[in-house]
């Protein structure tokens, strides 16, 4: 009888040890998985912190509007902006801690009758390859685009723009690669704003007004 009780006790003790070992193995496995996830998150966070960020900024915020004088007036030919082509110029600047490599870009400058005529999704047209051009921290490179469909406004169109009865807007994008070979895209869009009565905002290119798809970054 004592031998039977001892056998039962030993069997119960063995089962308890097996369960304890199983639980210990589970805890170690769970800790290992969590440690691995923590390391992955830490690496990803470190890369995101050190990654390249490319921004686009107009190099001339309020350029003079170029126009064609009406009737060939000699007086108008002495006005600032006469027969001058309208151009949007901007610079791409790297603000991250590591270099960026520019892959491709596109910039457009267009005239519309009203803001509602701007498409919800930007159509960049053909993109210009940049062949992984390096851009280090705080370095910048300039680009430009002439106004479409006509680089020089008619005098009537120039007046309409200054009165906000017509609008000029510029938009573009740049695709670049960070040091970890990850691709990113920066989109930018600006409306040339001419303040009317009661508007305290300064004249120049402003981001607000365009659909969200024109200003975003990855």
Number of domains in the chain: 2
Do 39 and 99 lie in a common domain? no
Same-domain check for residues 17 and 90: no
For 138, left (φ over 0), alpha (ψ -120 to 50), or beta? Answer: left
Residue 41 and residue 110 in one domain:
no
Residues 15 and 90 in one domain: no
Is residue 198 classed exposed, middle or buried when 0-12, 13-18 and 19+ CB atoms within 10 A define those classes? exposed
Domain span at 34: 1-50
Question: Is 91 in the same domain as 20?
Answer: no
**Together in a domain, 114 and 35:** no
Same domain, 17 and 69: no
- pLDDT tens per residue, range 140-149: 999 999 999 9
- Classified as helix, coil or strand, 56 is strand
pTM of this structure: 0.77
* Three-state secondary-structure class, residue 38: helix
User: Are 128 and 167 members of one domain?
Assistant: yes
Instruction: Please give the pLDDT value at position 34.
Output: 56
Last residue of a domain, one of 50, 74, 89: 50
CA-to-CA separations, 154 to 16, 19, 69, 80, 206, in angstroms, rounded: 92, 87, 7, 14, 23
What does the pLDDT look like over 86-121, one tens digit per residue? 999 999 999 888 999 999 999 999 999 999 999 999
d(CA 109, CA 171): 7
- Grouping H, G, I as helix, E, B as strand and the rest as coil, residue 119 is coil
Shared domain check, 177 and 164 = yes
Task: Spell out the per-residue pLDDT of the chain, length 218, in tens.
Answer: 655 555 555 555 556 565 556 666 666 766 566 554 544 444 444 445 578 899 999 999 999 999 998 765 666 667 888 889 999 999 999 988 899 999 999 999 999 999 999 999 999 999 999 999 999 988 899 999 999 999 999 999 999 999 999 999 999 999 999 999 999 999 999 999 999 988 889 999 999 889 999 999 99
């Amino acid at each position: 009888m004592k031998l039977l009780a001892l056998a039962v006790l030993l069997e119960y003790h063995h089962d308890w040890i097996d369960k304890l070992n199983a639980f210990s193995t589970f805890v170690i496995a769970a800790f290992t998985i969590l440690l691995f996830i923590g390391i992955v998150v830490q690496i990803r966070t470190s890369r995101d912190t050190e990654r390249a960020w490319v921004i686009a900024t107009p190099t001339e915020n309020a350029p003079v509007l170029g126009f064609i004088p009406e009737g060939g007036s000699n007086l108008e030919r002495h006005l600032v902006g006469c027969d001058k082509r309208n151009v949007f110029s901007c610079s791409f600047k790297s603000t991250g801690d590591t270099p960026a490599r520019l892959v491709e870009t596109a910039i457009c400058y267009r005239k519309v009758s009203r803001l509602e005529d701007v498409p919800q999704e930007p159509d960049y047209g053909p993109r210009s390859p940049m062949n992984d051009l390096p851009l280090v921290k705080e370095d910048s490179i300039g680009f430009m685009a002439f106004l479409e469909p006509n680089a020089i406004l008619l005098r009537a169109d120039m007046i309409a723009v200054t009165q906000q009865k017509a609008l000029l807007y510029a938009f573009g994008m740049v695709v670049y690669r960070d040091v970890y070979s990850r691709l990113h895209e920066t989109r930018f869009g600006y409306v040339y704003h001419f303040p009317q009565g009661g508007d305290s905002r300064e004249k120049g290119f402003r981001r607000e007004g365009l659909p969200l798809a024109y200003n975003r970054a990855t």
